Amino acid sequence: MRIISYNVNGLRAAIKKGLIEWLKTDPADIICLQEIKAEKENIDVALIEDLGYETYWFSAQKKGYSGVAIFTKIKIDNIVYGSKIEQSDFEGRVIRADFGDISLINAYYPSGTSGEGRQTYKYKWLDEFLDYLNELKKTRKHLIICGDYNIAHKALDIHDPKGNKNSSGFLPEERAWMDKFLANGFVDTFRTIHPDEPHCYSWWSQRFPSVRLQNKGWRIDYICITEDLKDKLTDAKIYPDVKQSDHCPIYAAFKL
C-alpha cells in the first residue's frame, strides 16, 4: 500500500500546474488531498478516473474553501464522510476510508494564522480530533492519519525555530499537542525512517518566492500510524521537487 498526502492549495489550480501529469507517473496507490477548494462537479473527474483511481470527495459547505478528497486504486470497503463534529464537517476537514481492518483518515487541520479566533478554534479542533481518533481506535485499531497538520513538531522540522517561536504552527501549545498525540499510540512515519535528517520540509511561504528556492520551509504534513502498523512501514519520503502547490507531496509505503 503506497500512500501520498498532498495539500494542493486548490485542486483546479494544481491541475493547471501539472497535477494530472504527475499522477500519470503512478506515484502511489492512494492519493489523499487537502484544501481542494472545489466540489466534484467542478473538476473533470474523468482525467483522474482514467488513471485507475476511484474518487471520494468531502468538500466544505463554503465554496472555494478547505475540503478533502481520496483517490484510490485499491477498493474501499467503507467510506465515512466527516467526523460527526459539526464545524469540522461544515469545513470539510475529515474523510475516512476503510481497507479491510485498516482505516485511513485524511484530514486538513485548521490554520491559526488568520487571527486569534481561528487559533482558538484550532486548539478546540485538535482536542476534538484526538478524542475522535481515540474513540475510533476502540473499534478500528489500525489507523493511518495523513494530512496537513499545520504544526511543525520539533525544531528539526522548521528552518528557523528561534525566529518562529511565536508563529502559529510552531507555538508551544501546538507542539505539546503533537507530543500528546504521539503519546496516545501514534507514530510519525517520516521520522521513523529518517529520525535525524535535517532540512526536510513540506511547505514554504508563498509571500517570498525565494523561500522555496532557499529551502526555508516547515514540515507540517504528516502520515502517522498506530504503533501496531510500525513494523509494516517500509518507506517514507518527501517530494520537494513536485511543485503544483505551496506544499509538496509526502509519501509512505507499507507491506500489509
pLDDT in tens, 110-119: 999 999 999 9
- Mean pLDDT to the nearest integer, 237-253: 98
pLDDT value of residue 71: 98
Residue 31: its pLDDT value, please? 99
Could you tell me which residues come within 8 angstroms of residue 59 by beta carbon, excluding any fewer than 6 positions away?
36, 38, 39, 40, 66, 67, 92
Pair 240, 215: CB distance under 8 Å: yes
User: By percentage, how much of the chain surpasses pLDDT 70?
Assistant: 100
59-90 residue pLDDT tens = 999 999 999 999 999 999 999 999 999 999 99
Whether residue 209 has pLDDT greater than 90 = no
Q: 3 - beta bridge partners?
A: 30, 252
- Name the nearest CA neighbour of 144 among 89, 91, 77, 98: 98
- Residue in the structure block whose three cell numbers are 475516512: 96
Which of 98, 148, 157, 231 is the catalytic position? 148
228 is catalytic: no
Pairing mode of beta strands 54-58, 68-72: antiparallel
Q: What contacts 66, CB < 8 A, 6 or more positions away? A: 35, 36, 37, 59, 60, 91, 92, 93, 108
Alpha-carbon distances of 124 from 19, 44, 119, 242, rounded to whole Å: 33, 36, 9, 33
Residue 52 has pLDDT above 90, yes or no: yes
Q: Tell me the DSSP string of 152-218.
A: --SGGGBS-TTTTTTSTTS-HHHHHHHHHHHHTTEEEHHHHHSTT--S--SB--SSSTHHHHTT--B
State yes or no: pLDDT of 208 exceeds 90. Answer: no
- Mean pLDDT for 141-162 is 98
4 strand-pairing partners: 31, 251
Average pLDDT taken over every residue of the chain: 98
pLDDT of 178: 98
Q: How far apart are CA 55 and CA 43, in angstroms?
A: 11
Please tell me the predicted confidence (pLDDT) of residue 79. Answer: 98
Q: What angle do CA 179, 9, 3 make, to 5 degrees?
A: 60
Q: What is the mean pLDDT of residues 35-55?
A: 97
Rg (Cα) of the chain, in Å, rounded? Answer: 17
C-alpha 26/C-alpha 144 separation (Å) is 21
What's the sign of the alpha-carbon dihedral 187, 193, 196, 202? negative
153-199 pLDDT tens trace: 999 999 999 999 999 999 999 999 999 999 999 999 999 999 999 99
Instruction: Write down the pTM of the prediction.
Output: 0.97
Query: Which residues, other chains included, contact 222 with Cβ-Cβ below 8 Å and sequence gap of 6+?
Result: 5, 145, 146, 147, 149, 188, 189, 190, 250
| The pLDDT of residue 253 | 98
Residue type, 91: E
CB atoms closer than 10 angstroms to residue 79: 14
List, in order of start, the domains of the chain with CATH numbers: 2-254 (3.60.10.10)
- Residues 94-102, mean pLDDT to the nearest whole number: 98
